Structure 1
Amino acid sequence: MIFSSRLSAAIIMTALGVALISPSAAVADSGASDEIDVRVTIPQAEAFSVTDAQFRWGVNTEVSAGSFSGDCNFLSAGVAGDAGASRVWAESDGLYKVKDGNSHIEKPDASGEWAASSWENKCLDATGRKVGPGITETGTGAQAVIEKGVGKVDPTKGTARMKWKGSFSIVFYGGLTYWSLSDPELTIADGRGTLTATASGYAADREDTTKWSKLSNKKITLAELPSVALGAHGIVTTPAYKGVKISGVEPEQSREQMWWGSFPKDWVEYNQQTGQGPYWYSSGGAADSRKVATDVYISYTPENSVIATPDKQQSPTAADDQTADETAPLVKEDAPQNSGQSSALSGQDSGRTPVQQLVHNVLSSVLPQSMAPTGTATSVLEPAVLAASTISWMGKSLIPEAIEQAMDYKEPLLWSLAGLLALGSVAWVGFRHGWLVWPFSSKK
């Protein structure tokens, strides 16, 4: 008896545990054809239950950025108690919690690992820098984590249902306005998902900080998840925000910038009462880029986390460029600049404006050491640098609409101007030292 090569392969596959179904005999005689039809059936992944799923979310950059009052915005574990008024929290109040039941707050540390947040470091990023309210602020990277989620996942059908028992609070302006989210639930079907939770908190008014009252609990949508894939260890998905329209809000939604969008409508409506309403959709202010929702991480077990280590955090490109958002709740006046903040461009307190420091760094990198721009070159650029910096202090007192448009594109404008100034300086130095000559000139 002679076995065909394909049949031999089939027998090996059978030995490895792969089910085989053949319509013909398994053995062929010497006169039979070498070709034997073999159909392979690959077992599908079975549905399974989860009993210790981990929910992890940083919400957006704004929830861990600096603020003009109360030092910063931050996350707190559990449902925050009643502060009795719209006021900045003190450590002695006992309102701030790092851990509460199944919930805790983590943030990146200097070693690139997740570490528990604390009252002392809640406003510091991984490098130890105090976060500010600048346009390019990256925040502390803090995330709310809730453990012990239970539910069922069916990879074959592409469905999943999970729920958690735990809460976290979103605190803005050090406590002037805050609210809580409890017991998130996840539902996934047909490649789409929805996250819901119960909202609770206190009503505050930016026009009258003496107003303070408890709000009724309400189940709201945390996130619509337009594209969800069930991974081997869990789910990483981006909530809908960019391009999401919302109406009936005050101020009206701005749809001019590339990052315009909105959190779910019921989320925004609830926060119209907390005083945070405009912070959850693009309102046309300088903080709009920080409002975009960040990824949600769901791990079937904490041991096999879908986000093992934090993303590497970088200091903002203009950390001391602090421009107020006109929609800032409960704070109507402009706050003073954070003069103690070091320049992110140089890593030290240079006393220069961000644009001046950028020009200085560019020139230092392209010119010989002896030509470092410590004197004349920088002085020649001073008028143009000051003109470029005008947007920072002009605010909206002059030609509001024009200034607003300039604010929308401030960062690329400043970078472009800095590049042109740097090139112009190199040309000026080149002509002065004879490295460059005019095309219509001639040497004898």
Structure 2
Amino acid sequence: MRSDPRYAAGLLGCAATVLASLLISSLAVLLGGLGSPVAAAEEVVTSGAATTASGAVTETATGTATATATETVSATPSETATATETASSTVSETVTATGTATETVTETVTASAALTEAFDVADASLRWGLNNESNNRAFAPGTFNFLSAGKIANPGAGGLTLSNAGATWSNGATAGWSNAVGNVSIEKYVTGTGYTAATWAGLSTDSSGATISSPTSGSYSNHQVVLTGGTGEVDPAAGTATISWDGDFTVLYYSGMTFFYVSDPVLSVVDGVGTLTATLGGYGTSMDDTTQWETLTDTEVTLADLGAIDLTADLGFTVTPAYLGVAYSPPSGGAAQLTDDDYSGSFPQSFVDFQQLTGQAAYWYSSGGSVDKSKPTLPLTVSYDASDPVAQTTPASTATTSTKTKTATATATATATTVATITVATATATPAADLAAVSPVVASTAYRPASGPMPTVLPVAAEVTAADAPRWPWWAGAVVLLAAAVLTVTTAITGRQKR
């Protein structure tokens, strides 16, 4: 049988046409499938193909804290020919955080050389703010309690106050407030600066420059009287000392309605126990009748009981005079002492007795008034050499602002270690069977670092859902399928005609 070349060519063309039709049909089915609203069973992630990922977060607070969060997601989809899809997901999250903070503090302590031999002093200084009430706003409107160097002049009558920056009395008589007279000066503690010469305006403000709003505000003007030129002898080994100062200062309450003088204080130390005495003077008046005004006899009193004093310190010493717990016996008709309060106490008996005459007595012992907390004594400092003084304390604090030494030093090291362990409870959650419902890993609310913001645990994977996939209209696949059928039939008919 002889073969016909045209017959063979027709068969090959028909086969090629059928194969092309099948390929186009497959493409049409695929395009139609992309338009299905059902998501593919395989989960798509943008940060790696694996469905198991681990994220680590490291945060540094006071020491070093490390938190590790691990998320495990297992998905086993099963799909049958009937287009029934079954998916299960289990999320197990375990977060364990252990924080260990270790702080090491090394402090160098400087020790002054201890004094043992007796020595003379020629320019000792005495620094003292008495108490906070002497640096406070007074109850009479527009009046304050404050200090002045030297002796304020006699106004000639009672019930008067200082005016014209302290130059005169309200009746025009000369007053003479001053921040320095002879060996005596008045200094104010100014925030950020330290002690500076007092000003008239500063008598009514606190250390920051704000006006003291009321007697019970807890804010004070923070002034001190400073006397220099003290002379005497100190014997550290025997525990004895005597230092005398020549100078006067005035303590004014209610802007001068009542005031007294303090003259020529003397430090005496016997068997290691110190006492500060002085001569008081001034004018007598009464809180009930301020028109009373009479000259008082100068009287020597104990200004402060200093208690035990260490005379061996190189530069001098700072001590807080006795007040808390000290008993006072008022005269008949005087205000009784309150003895069961946190601020109960008194200045020395002889000092307060003198104040019975000035009308100020109740301001120097616990009388149950609203300013009892302002009455206790403030620290007092004696420096053996005014040009090389003991470091000063800041108001309401015993922390020194500077350190001075002459000779031997010692070094001490202190180490403080704090270890904190935090364990976060394990949480296991099994959400619904839809993989698209799996939530990203979040930081457990049970963990809070010692300081700083909460650590942020970022999701390890991001999903692409069916809603995010590009959509093809179903009819596009149908058109392609129809075109393939027409091409197949046309090719077949053409082939037969050629034969």
TM tier relative to shorter chain: 0.5 to 0.7
Instruction: Report what 1:65 is aligned to.
Output: 136
Following superposition of structure 1 onto structure 2, how do residues 11-410 of structure 1 map, counting pairs within 5 Å? 45-69=116-140, 70-86=142-158, 87-90=160-163, 91-93=166-168, 94-230=175-311, 231-249=313-331, 250-308=334-392, 310-311=394-395
Query: Structure 1: which amino acid aligns with 2:150?
Result: G
RMSD: 1.9
Distance 2:396 2:356 in 1: 34
For 1:251-285, what per-residue CA distance to the aligned partner results, in whole angstroms no more than 9, with x for missing partners? 11011211100111111111001010100100011
Q: Secondary structure at the match of 1:62?
A: helix
Q: Secondary structure at the match of 1:183?
A: strand
Query: Structure 1: which amino acid aligns with 2:254?
Result: Y
Deviation of 1:195 after TM superposition, in Å, equals 0.5
For 1:303-355, what per-residue CA distance to the aligned partner results, in whole angstroms no more than 9, with x for missing partners? 22113463478xxxxxxxxxxxxxxxxxxxxxxxxxxxxxxxxxxxxxxxxxx
**Native 8 Å contact 1:114 1:310 kept in 2:** no
Deviation of 1:123 after TM superposition, in Å, equals 1.2
Q: Secondary structure at the match of 1:272?
A: helix
Q: Secondary structure at the match of 2:137?
A: coil
Distance 1:120 1:44 in 2: 42
CA distance 1:190–1:132, shift in 2 (3 Å): farther
> Which protein is bigger by CA-based radius of gyration?
2
Query: Structure 2: which amino acid aligns with 1:58?
Result: G
Q: Secondary structure at the match of 1:266?
A: helix
Deviation of 1:248 after TM superposition, in Å, equals 2.8
Distance 1:222 1:81 in 2: 22
**Native 8 Å contact 1:114 1:309 kept in 2:** no
Distance 1:120 1:285 in 2: 28
Instruction: Report what 1:8 is aligned to.
Output: none
Distance 1:45 1:210 in 2: 55
For 1:195-219, what per-residue CA distance to the aligned partner results, in whole angstroms no more than 9, with x for missing partners? 0000000001111121111101011
Deviation of 1:80 after TM superposition, in Å, equals 1.8
For 1:202-239, what per-residue CA distance to the aligned partner results, in whole angstroms no more than 9, with x for missing partners? 00111112111110101111011112111210011111
**Native 8 Å contact 2:231 2:245 kept in 1:** yes
Distance 1:308 1:207 in 2: 39
**Native 8 Å contact 1:72 1:132 kept in 2:** no
Deviation of 1:133 after TM superposition, in Å, equals 3.4
Deviation of 1:119 after TM superposition, in Å, equals 1.4
Query: TM-score, normalized by length of structure 1?
Result: 0.59
For 1:122-141, what per-residue CA distance to the aligned partner results, in whole angstroms no more than 9, with x for missing partners? 11122111124343523111
**Native 8 Å contact 1:197 1:222 kept in 2:** yes
Query: Structure 2: which amino acid aligns with 1:45?
Result: T
Distance 1:198 1:126 in 2: 30
**Native 8 Å contact 1:112 1:310 kept in 2:** no
Q: Secondary structure at the match of 1:302?
A: coil
Query: Structure 2: which amino acid aligns with 1:306?
Result: V
Q: How many residues align?
A: 272
CA distance 1:44–1:217, shift in 2 (3 Å): closer
**Native 8 Å contact 1:297 1:307 kept in 2:** no
Q: Secondary structure at the match of 1:217?
A: strand
Distance 2:115 2:247 in 1: 34
**Native 8 Å contact 1:125 1:141 kept in 2:** yes
Deviation of 1:111 after TM superposition, in Å, equals 2.5
Deviation of 1:142 after TM superposition, in Å, equals 0.1
CA distance 1:243–1:279, shift in 2 (3 Å): same
Q: Secondary structure at the match of 1:216?
A: strand
**Native 8 Å contact 2:115 2:314 kept in 1:** no
CA distance 1:67–1:151, shift in 2 (3 Å): same
CA distance 1:266–1:132, shift in 2 (3 Å): farther
Instruction: Report what 2:439 is aligned to.
Output: none
- Identity over the aligned pairs, expressed in percent? 37
**Native 8 Å contact 1:126 1:140 kept in 2:** yes
Distance 1:236 1:44 in 2: 16
Deviation of 1:44 after TM superposition, in Å, equals 7.5
Distance 1:236 1:111 in 2: 22
**Native 8 Å contact 1:169 1:180 kept in 2:** yes
For 1:391-415, what per-residue CA distance to the aligned partner results, in whole angstroms no more than 9, with x for missing partners? xxxxxxxxxxxxxxxxxxxxxxxxx
Structure with the higher fraction of residues in strand conformation: 2
Which deviates more, 185-194 or 50-59?
185-194
**Structure 2 segments unaligned to the other structure (5+ residues):** 1-113, 169-174, 398-499
For 1:41-100, what per-residue CA distance to the aligned partner results, in whole angstroms no more than 9, with x for missing partners? xx9721110000000000000000111224310000012220122211113313311111
For 1:367-392, what per-residue CA distance to the aligned partner results, in whole angstroms no more than 9, with x for missing partners? xxxxxxxxxxxxxxxxxxxxxxxxxx
CA distance 1:97–1:44, shift in 2 (3 Å): closer
Distance 1:214 1:112 in 2: 40
